[in-house]
C-alpha cells in the first residue's frame, strides 16, 4: 500500500479506496491543479509477472480506445519507481449497481430499462472499437452523481479482449477470465469471445436487476459453470412479478448458442424497450410493499491464498467446494435462512425478536452459533491450509417482502464484512453491543474481533 502523500506520476495519493487481485485504487489529487482522480497501481509483487503486466496494459489500451460518456475515462498513465504501471481515471461519486440493488431491492422494468439503455450505448461503442468487455456485471456498472441527472458508467476493462491486437495472449486453458456468475458458455470453454459474449452477460445483468437474484446460484464453482453450460435459467416471471414479455428477451440473450442470442447490444435494448412498453398493461402488481425489519446475519466467505488458484490441485478444490455446503447445513439446522448465495459466499440470517436493547438474547444466540460454526469449520475433514474462511456478523435493517429479503442496509455486505483474511470471527459493534459471552465459547474461538468499517462507533479488536 502506498502511504498518503506518495507520488504517482503527477498525482499525490490521499487514501486507498479499493483493491483487487491485480492492483490498488487510490484517491489522489493532481500535484499542480489539485484535480481529484482515481489512480490504479499494479501490486508490487506482480511487476515481474508477465500476465499481470500485460493485463494491466491491455486495460489501459482498451479504455483509451473508447471515447464515450458512459465509459470510464483515463486521464493519465505511466510507471512509478520499480516499474509498476499505473493509470489515473476520473474520480466518480455515487454507487455501483450491485450496491444500489442491494439497498433498494429489485428494480421495476422501467427503472431497469433506464439504467440498461446507457449500458448498451456504452457496449455498442466498446464493440465498435473492436473490444469485448468480458466482465459485465452489476458491480462494474456505476451510477455517478454529477450534480444533475445520474450518469451510468461502465467500469473495469481488466479482462477486456482487444480483438485486433496481435500481441501476446494472457489466458491459458486452465484460467477463467471474467466472473463465473455472469460468464457465457464460450468463455467457460475458452473459445473466441465476441460482442455476443457481452450480450449473454447483459441478459444475466437484466435478470438480476428484475428479480434481485442471479440466474444461477451455487456454492461450488464446478456446478455454477455446469449450469451456464447446460442448464436453462428459470424465467424471470417465476422469480419476480414481471410480465412474460420480459422472459423472452432475457432468456434469448442468455441462449447457450451465441447464434441464437441478440447479435448486438443495440438489438437487445431495442427488444427490451418494446417488451417493457408491452408489459405495462400486463405486469402483475407487487405482492405488497416491502417492510423494514431488523435481522442478525452471518456472512461466510471462502477464498484461497493468492496464487493458489493459478494451478489448483484436487485437495485445494475439494476443500473449497466443501466449506459452504457444510456452513449452509450447519446454519439451516439452527433456524437460519439464506439471504444471499454466490460462488464463494453465503449470507444467512435470523430475524431479531425485539428492538434494541431487548434483542440482546437473540444477538447472543447468533454470535454463539457463529463461534460454534467456526469451531466446526476448523475441524472439518480434509481441511487445506491454503483455504481460508472469513466469518463476519452484523445486525441491521433489511427490506423484506413476505419471508424474502429484497434489500436494505445490511445487504450491503461490502460495507461491513472484512475484506482481508482474519482469524476467528469478526463482528460489528451493532452485533456485539452490550453482550456478555460465555468463557467456554470464547475458548473455542478466542479471536472474536470487532470490525471497524463504514458504520460509526465500530471499535478495534477485542
pLDDT digits (tens, 9 = 90+) for 206-257: 999 999 888 987 657 788 888 898 888 889 988 888 888 999 999 999 999 9
Active site residue 135: yes
Task: Confirm if 393 and 461 have CB atoms less than 8 A apart.
Answer: no
Dig out the grid coordinates for 88 from the structure. Answer: 489515473
Spatial CB neighbours of 323, under 8 Å, sequence gap ≥ 6: 300, 302, 377, 380, 387, 389
Catalytic residue among 96, 135, 384, 412: 135
The strand pairing partners of 40, in sequence order, are 25, 87
Q: Which fold has domain 7-90?
A: Phosphorylase Kinase; domain 1 (3.30.200)
Q: What is the mean pLDDT of residues 181-207?
A: 93
SS3 282: coil
Dig out the grid coordinates for 272 from the structure. Answer: 427490451
pLDDT band at 437 (very low <50, low <70, confident <90, very high): low
- Compute the chain's Rg from CA coordinates: 23
pLDDT band at 174 (very low <50, low <70, confident <90, very high): very low
Q: Which of 378, 308, 391 is nearest to 348 (CA)?
A: 391
Q: What is the pLDDT of residue 448?
A: 58
pLDDT, averaged across the chain: 84
Dig out the grid coordinates for 426 from the structure. Answer: 469478526
Most confident of 254-268, 300-314, 338-352, 448-462: 254-268
| pLDDT tens-digit map of 247-257 | 999 999 999 99
Pairing label, strands 425-427, 449-450? parallel
Residue, of 338 and 180, whose pLDDT is higher: 338
pLDDT band at 178 (very low <50, low <70, confident <90, very high): low
The strand pairing partners of 338, in sequence order, are 348
Q: What is the pLDDT of residue 335?
A: 92
Q: Which fold has domain 94-279?
A: Transferase(Phosphotransferase); domain 1 (1.10.510)
Dig out the grid coordinates for 362 from the structure. Answer: 437473540
The strand pairing partners of 7, in sequence order, are 12
* pLDDT at residue 433 tops 50: yes
Q: Say how far apart CA 234 and CA 231 lie, in whole Å.
A: 9
pLDDT band at 51 (very low <50, low <70, confident <90, very high): confident
Instruction: Check whether the bond before 14 is cis (ω within 30° of 0).
Output: no
pLDDT band at 458 (very low <50, low <70, confident <90, very high): very low
Pairing label, strands 74-80, 36-42? unpaired
310-316, long-range: CB < 8 A, 24+ apart: 310/174, 310/175, 311/174, 315/382, 315/384, 316/384, 316/386, 316/387
* pLDDT at residue 369 tops 90: yes
Domain locations along the chain: 7-90, 94-279, 291-450
The strand pairing partners of 392, in sequence order, are 299, 426
Task: Confirm if 184 and 227 have CB atoms less than 8 A apart.
Answer: no
pLDDT band at 76 (very low <50, low <70, confident <90, very high): very high
Dig out the grid coordinates for 118 from the structure. Answer: 446507457
What is the CB-side half-sphere exposure of residue 255 using CA atoms within 13 A?
13
Q: Say how far apart CA 267 and CA 192 lie, in whole Å.
A: 21
Dig out the grid coordinates for 298 from the structure. Answer: 452471518
Q: Which fold has domain 291-450?
A: Alpha-Beta Plaits (3.30.70)
Q: What does each C-alpha distance from 334 to 18, 69, 166, 370 come to in angstroms?
A: 35, 50, 56, 11
Q: Say how far apart CA 444 and CA 440 lie, in whole Å.
A: 7
Task: Confirm if 246 and 210 have CB atoms less than 8 A apart.
Answer: yes
Whether 291-450 and 7-90 are alike in CATH topology: the answer is: no
Amino acid at each position: 500500500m502506498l502511504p498518503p502523500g506518495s507520488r504517482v506520476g503527477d498525482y499525490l495519493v490521499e487514501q486507498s479506496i479499493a483493491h483487487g487481485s491485480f492492483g490498488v485504487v487510490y484517491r489522489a489529487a493532481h500535484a499542480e491543479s489539485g484535480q481529484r482522480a482515481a489512480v490504479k497501481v499494479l501490486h508490487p509483487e506482480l511487476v515481474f509477472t508477465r500476465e499481470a503486466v500485460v493485463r494491466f496494459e491491455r486495460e489501459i489500451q482498451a479504455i483509451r480506445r473508447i471515447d464515450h460518456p458512459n465509459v470510464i475515462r483515463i486521464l493519465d498513465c505511466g510507471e512509478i519507481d520499480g516499474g509498476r504501471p499505473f493509470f489515473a481515471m476520473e474520480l466518480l461519486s455515487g454507487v455501483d449497481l450491485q450496491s444500489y440493488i442491494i439497498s433498494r431491492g429489485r428494480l421495476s422494468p422501467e427503472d431497469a430499462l433506464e439504467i440498461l439503455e446507457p449500458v448498451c450505448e456504452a457496449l455498442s461503442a466498446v464493440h465498435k472499437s473492436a473490444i469485448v468487455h468480458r466482465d459485465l456485471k452489476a458491480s462494474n456498472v456505476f451510477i455517478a452523481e454529477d450534480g444533475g441527472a445520474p450518469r451510468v458508467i461502465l467500469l473495469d476493462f481488466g479482462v477486456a479482449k482487444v480483438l485486433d491486437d496481435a500481441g501476446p495472449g494472457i489466458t491459458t486453458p486452465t484460467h477463467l477470465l471474467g466472473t463465473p456468475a455472469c460468464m457465457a458458455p464460450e468463455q467457460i470453454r475458452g473459445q473466441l469471445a465476441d460482442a455476443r459474449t457481452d450480450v449473454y452477460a447483459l441478459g444475466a445483468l437484466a435478470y438480476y436487476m428484475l428479480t434481485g437474484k442471479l440466474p444461477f446460484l451455487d456454492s461450488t464453482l464446478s456446478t455454477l459453470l455446469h449450469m451456464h453450460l447446460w442448464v436453462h435459467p428459470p424465467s424471470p416471471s417465476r422469480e419476480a412479478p414481471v410480465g412474460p414479455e420480459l422472459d423472452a428477451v432475457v432468456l434469448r440473450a442468455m441462449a447457450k448458442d451465441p447464434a441464437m442470442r441478440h447479435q448486438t447490444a443495440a438489438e437487445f435494448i431495442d427488444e427490451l424497450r418494446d417488451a417493457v412498453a408491452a408489459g405495462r398493461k400486463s405486469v402483475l402488481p407487487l405482492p405488497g410493499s416491502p417492510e423494514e425489519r431488523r435481522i442478525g446475519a452471518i456472512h461466510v466467505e471462502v477464498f484461497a491464498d493468492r496464487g493458489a488458484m493459478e494451478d489448483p490441485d484436487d485437495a485445494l478444490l475439494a476443500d473449497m467446494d466443501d466449506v459452504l455446503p457444510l456452513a449452509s447445513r450447519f446454519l439451516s439446522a439452527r433456524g437460519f435462512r439464506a439471504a444471499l448465495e454466490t460462488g464463494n459466499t453465503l449470507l444467512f440470517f435470523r430475524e431479531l425478536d425485539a428492538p434494541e436493547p431487548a434483542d440482546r438474547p437473540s444477538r447472543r444466540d447468533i454470535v454463539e452459533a457463529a463461534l460454534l460454526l467456526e469451531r466446526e469449520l476448523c475441524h472439518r475433514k480434509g481441511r487445506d491450509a491454503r483455504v481460508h474462511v472469513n466469518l463476519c456478523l452484523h445486525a441491521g435493517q433489511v427490506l423484506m417482502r413476505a419471508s424474502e429479503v429484497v434489500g436494505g442496509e445490511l445487504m450491503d455486505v461490502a460495507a461491513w464484512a472484512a475484506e482481508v483474511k482474519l482469524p476467528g470471527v469478526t463482528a460489528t459493534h451493532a452485533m456485539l453491543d452490550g453482550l456478555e459471552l460465555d468463557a467456554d465459547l470464547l475458548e473455542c474461538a478466542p479471536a472474536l474481533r470487532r470490525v471497524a468499517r463504514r458504520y460509526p462507533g465500530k471499535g478495534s479488536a477485542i
